[in-house]
Amino acid sequence: MNKDLDLVKNYQKEVILLGETAALLGWDQKTYMPEEGIKSKSEQLVLLSKLIHKKITSNELFSAIKRLRKKKLTDSDKIMINKLYKDIKKSRNLPEEFVIELSKASSLGGSAWEKAKEKKDFNIFKPYLEKLVNLKRKEVNYNKLPGHPYNTLLDDFEEGMTVAKLKPRFDILKNELILLLKKIESTELYKKQKDTILKKSFNNDLELEICKDYKNRIGLNNNISRLDLSMHPFTTTIGIKDIRLTTNLKDGFFNAFGATIHECGHALYIENMPDKYEYTILRESPSMGLHESQSRFWENMIGKNKSFWRFYIPRINKILKTNESLDNTYRGINFVTPGKIRVESDEIHYCLHIILRFEIELGLIEGSIKIKDLPKIWNKKMKEYFNVVPENDAVGVLQDMHWSEGAFGYFPTYAIGTIYAAQLFNALKKQFPNIEKDIEKGDFTRIINWLKEKIHDKGALYKSDELIKKICGSGLDPEAYIKYLNDKYKEIYKF
Amino acid sequence: MNKDLDLVKNYQKEVILLGETAALLGWDQKTYMPEEGIKSKSEQLVLLSKLIHKKITSNELFSAIKRLRKKKLTDSDKIMINKLYKDIKKSRNLPEEFVIELSKASSLGGSAWEKAKEKKDFNIFKPYLEKLVNLKRKEVNYNKLPGHPYNTLLDDFEEGMTVAKLKPRFDILKNELILLLKKIESTELYKKQKDTILKKSFNNDLELEICKDYKNRIGLNNNISRLDLSMHPFTTTIGIKDIRLTTNLKDGFFNAFGATIHECGHALYIENMPDKYEYTILRESPSMGLHESQSRFWENMIGKNKSFWRFYIPRINKILKTNESLDNTYRGINFVTPGKIRVESDEIHYCLHIILRFEIELGLIEGSIKIKDLPKIWNKKMKEYFNVVPENDAVGVLQDMHWSEGAFGYFPTYAIGTIYAAQLFNALKKQFPNIEKDIEKGDFTRIINWLKEKIHDKGALYKSDELIKKICGSGLDPEAYIKYLNDKYKEIYKF
């Protein structure tokens, strides 16, 4: 046996076990923790992240990795070692004072953002955001990648993706979405449409029963997963056979069900990762975008598909003792409305939101946008892309918390995932042209197996865009998504 | 500031934070974890205990403590440093190979015990118990205390307690309990008594509501505590303001309520520990016995008191929509029955169970009892003390798991706590002769404040027996408990 390889695997295992431990603390905080437990919880989480950081950046580990890079290894070990080398080198390039400064700025930024949002006043948040953007620009210099300075930040979440590749694709998508929106908005059906059923509420216990039934149906049984309630839906890995999902019933049943379908997409990916890479970086998704492609695939391509509702409407009516019609539900689920809030928006507005943020992030990192101009620029872009202007900063530039935590480069992965999802569904339909017949019967076996074979089984062996290219014939390409949206909404809004 | 003192306090804080983290993992395992999560959970817990052990036994910490022992310190810092010195020296005296061997033997012992209990066959467990007893006898030699070899093991759970002090007191109690049992068993009421109400079941949600209402009533509100369900009731500290309690409804409402009262006693102690000793060993109970005195105080002295039921019976009848009578409930709660099982036994049988185990532990550690004779000796003692013989080993010598985990010296703390509880109630009644009027009104304020002032506020500043002496005039003394039992059961069984 290779002693260095054992050491590296042991380090990874310990880091992953500590990460899972932290994940349980986070899950607990958002589900069952008594309110005043937060102080101890924060101290425990800070200690765990200190221990993890210490392990990841240890000289012992890095030396072993450097030696292993010169050795002959199996293909998968080679990929693992190279990935670790890259990640750890990045971490080690950041001076400790910088890491502490950034961590403090993120923590202060979070509180300032909360207050600013509450008071609907960007100025409260402004100095903190300024600090954070300056630090992120500094961070870029510690780990300079070729091309646009934003590439360094993007690479943290979407390895291999660059501004040069992403921007033209987002531009195409943006123009098509704006065009499609205009078409929809000019239809009679759009002008006459009334409140959506999305927010309708029924009996909470029964609503949860339907959500849990769905979770079990796609293979996430109760021996390996749970579904609980939390303020914001999320999925987290507590262990190899322990995945926790949450949803929220406060915004109505159909929203909760949609969120559950989304989270189950993440959870299925986690559950189906290859066991042979247990406790290594290879048993993880290669990027946030690919992870999001799995949740979006189920949420949009399956869960907003008419065949899906052919199966689910009778079940829902039976359990909730309601009498919802297929057509009304399907249209309600897919209502297009001028969405000022990203998390509440429909399939068309959603990516526009992301592209707007991406453009602003680019400007902030390259220095062409000044923080003080942010609300103005935000509102101008909203007017231009959405034809609406937020009534205040809380529902405008302050709506998302990501920047307050220093997460720049993260937003694009939401749209990347959405685009990949459409490409994947396209590839699936090419292989199984009659797949919607399965969906109508609530039989997701072929879909699950196909995703497992094509994506889940690969772990982190390939970069996301390479893997998508292998499956779909091309890397990130908005064409399939654009066609899907046009076909679907033409039929719904009859233009 | 003293650099060494800061270092020691920081170590303690990190050890406590990691301990609380492990406590959350344990709580989760017993409440909400999906079944198959156990494998990862075990690995996470092993890692945490490794990290804790490494911190506790580090040279850096021990050197600082040794230097501090020669320095002038405040009284409380001095106590803290001496306690830490003693604990850490004990740990450091155990060779690493020994610790690993013991940990393996405990783990194997646990599984073997489970199997043996299931098959009702002591022989399956025998070789594992032999190994464990040999290791514990070895452990004694690494940390030899004066007097009986058992003292070393006892001291781990009940600092300062010795066989020389404990044995004569247990002997007195044993004889009195056997005598009292004979008196009760000869009464007409005993001979005629029918099934107890203890196991009666009602609506589970309402039962839980009553338990939660009690928890809140004694000051454990939902912002700082939770009550959940688990197989065995327990209490655990997840953080400074985060205490988790559990109960179990499967053995009937009155059992569940009694268990809740017991656990709330532990939780109240934890909650009321002095904040000024936050994240140090001084914000802990000085012994398991004193902790148990707090749970037993509420469970027995308050929760089995007639005044308590004067308040609770109307409330329970209202919530459960039942019509239980005060007398019937009070008698039912206090039924004396020939209890072969410790955890199911009444106030009289309970301590007899403990004393039986204590006598056997003494024999095993001093070498006067051979493992192979255990079932025979067990059954002989059962016949002698209880006048019953277990029908098989599962409900006899195999009924408790403690020995299978190598926990020798732990059992006595259950009886010590029970005796202390009676001494404390005696002292309380001396100070407030009309305290039962408060209890009748469901007003526990004076009791809670008294316990806080006398016990909780002291943290670990005093050894348990010293503290009890300060409050009650004498250290461990079964007299109050004996008198309490005689008075109470004379009235109930009319002898």
Tens digit of each residue's pLDDT, chain A (495 residues) = 689 999 999 999 999 999 999 999 999 999 999 999 999 999 999 999 999 999 999 999 999 999 999 999 999 999 999 999 999 999 999 998 999 899 999 989 999 999 999 999 999 999 999 999 999 999 999 999 999 999 999 999 999 999 999 999 999 999 999 999 999 999 999 999 887 788 899 999 999 999 999 999 999 999 999 999 999 999 999 999 999 999 999 999 999 999 999 999 999 999 999 999 999 999 999 999 999 999 999 999 999 999 999 999 999 999 999 999 999 999 999 999 887 899 889 999 999 999 999 999 999 999 999 999 999 999 999 999 999 999 999 999 999 999 999 999 999 999 999 999 999 999 999 999 999 999 999 999 999 999 999 999 999 999 999 999 999 999 999 999 999 999 999 999 999
DSSP β-ladder status, B242-247 and B235-239 = antiparallel
Predicted local confidence at residue B195, as pLDDT: 72
Active-site residue, selected from the candidate residues B263, B271, B299, B359: B263
Of A32, A40, A224, the CB nearest to B226: A32
Q: How far is B357 from B153, CA to CA, in rounded Å? A: 14
Between CA B108 and CA B114 the distance in angstroms is 10
Q: Which residues contact B176 (CB under 8 A, 6 or more apart)?
A: B478, B482, B485, B486
Q: Say whether B14 and A47 touch across the interface (CB within 8 A).
A: yes
Tell me the one-letter amino acid at A406: G
CA distance B262 to B312: 16
Tell me the C-alpha distance between A193 and A215, whole Å: 32
Question: Is B225 touching A (CB cutoff 8 A)?
Answer: yes
**Nearby residues of A107 by Cβ (< 8 Å), 6 or more positions away:** none
For A241, which of B28, B37, B44 is closest by C-beta distance? B37
Q: Using the beta-carbon criterion (under 8 Å), do A44 and B224 form an inter-chain contact?
A: no
What pLDDT, in 10s, does the model give residues B283-323? 999 999 999 999 999 999 999 999 999 999 999 999 999 99
Q: Which residues does A258 contact at the CB level (< 8 Å), separation at least 6?
A: A198, A299, A303, A304, A333
State residue A280's pLDDT score: 97
What is the C-alpha to C-alpha distance for residues B90 and B71, in angstroms, rounded to an integer?
22
According to DSSP, the β-strands at A225-229 and A242-247 are parallel
The encoded tokens of residue B312 equal 């609770």
* Lookup result for tokens 């690493």: B96
Degrees, nearest 5: CA angle A339-A340-A345: 40
Helices (H), B240-323: 253-271, 288-296, 306-320
Tokens coding B451: 């316990």
Residues in A closer than 8 angstroms to B224, CB to CB, are 34-37
**Which chain A residues touch B246 with a CB distance below 8 Å?**
none
Mutate which of B242, B279, B283 to test chain A, going by most A C-beta atoms within 10 A?
Answer: B242
Reply yes or no on whether the pLDDT at B13 is more than 90.
yes
Residue B1: what pLDDT? Answer: 61
CA distance A381 to A361: 13
Locate B411 and state its tokens. 């059992």
Residue A44 contacts B, CB cutoff 8 Å: yes
Q: What pLDDT score was predicted for residue B340?
A: 86
**Residue carrying the six token digits 């408990």:** B481
- Please check whether residue A225 touches B, CB under 8 A: yes
pLDDT in tens, B185-209: 999 999 999 877 888 999 999 999 9
The predicted pLDDT at position B79 comes to 98
Task: Compute the C-alpha angle B390/B395/B401, nearest 5°.
Answer: 140
Task: Quote the CA–CA distance of A330 and A310 in Å, as a whole number.
Answer: 9
Distance between CA atoms of residues A293 and A423, nearest Å: 9
| Type of residue found at A296 | R
DSSP run (H or E) holding B156: helix B150-157
Residues of B in contact with A24 (CB under 8 A): 24-25, 28
DSSP annotation of A243: E
Phi-psi region of A118 (alpha: psi -120 to 50; beta: other; left: phi over 0): alpha
The closest of B334, B348, B333 to B387, measured between CA atoms, is: B348
**pLDDT (tens digit per residue) in A449-470:** 999 999 999 999 999 999 999 9
Average pLDDT of chain B, as a whole number: 96
In sequence order, what are the residues at sequence separation of 6 or more whose Cβ sits closer than 8 angstroms to the Cβ of residue B31?
B228, B229, B230, B244, B246
Whether A247 contacts A229, CB under 8 Å = yes
Distance CA B326, CA B333 (A): 11
Neighbour tally for A234: CB within 10 Å: 18
Q: Does the distance separating the beta carbons of A21 and B242 come in below 8 Å?
A: no
Q: What is the pLDDT of residue A286?
A: 98
- Interface check for A50 against chain B (CB to CB < 8 A): the answer is no
Do the Cβ atoms of B224 and A36 come within 8 Å? yes
Question: Which residues in B lie closer than 8 A to residue A223 (C-beta atoms)?
Answer: 34-36
Q: Which residues pair with B226 in a beta bridge?
A: B244
Phi and psi of A441, rounded to 5°? -95, 0
CA distance B231 to A373: 59
pLDDT at position A467: 98
Which residues contact residue B430 at a Cβ distance below 8 angstroms, ignoring those fewer than 6 apart? none
A10, A36, A215, A228: best to mutate for the B interface, most B CBs within 10 A = A36
- B376 in Cβ contact with B315 (< 8 Å): no
B43–A17 CB contact, under 8 Å: yes
What six digits make up the tokens of A442? Answer: 């609530």
Tell me how far apart the alpha carbons of residues B280 and A150 are, in angstroms, rounded to a whole number. 46
Of B21, B224, B228, the CB nearest to A48: B21
B32:A226 CB<8 A: yes
Query: CB pairs under 8 A, 24+ apart, for A396-401?
Result: A396/A340, A397/A122, A398/A113, A398/A116, A398/A117, A398/A120, A398/A122, A398/A125, A399/A117, A399/A340, A399/A341, A399/A342, A400/A342, A400/A357, A401/A110, A401/A113, A401/A114
Minimal Cβ distance to B24: which of A28, A34, A47: A28
Both ends of chain A: CA-CA distance in Å? 66
Out of B25, B32, B39, whose CB is closest to A21? B25
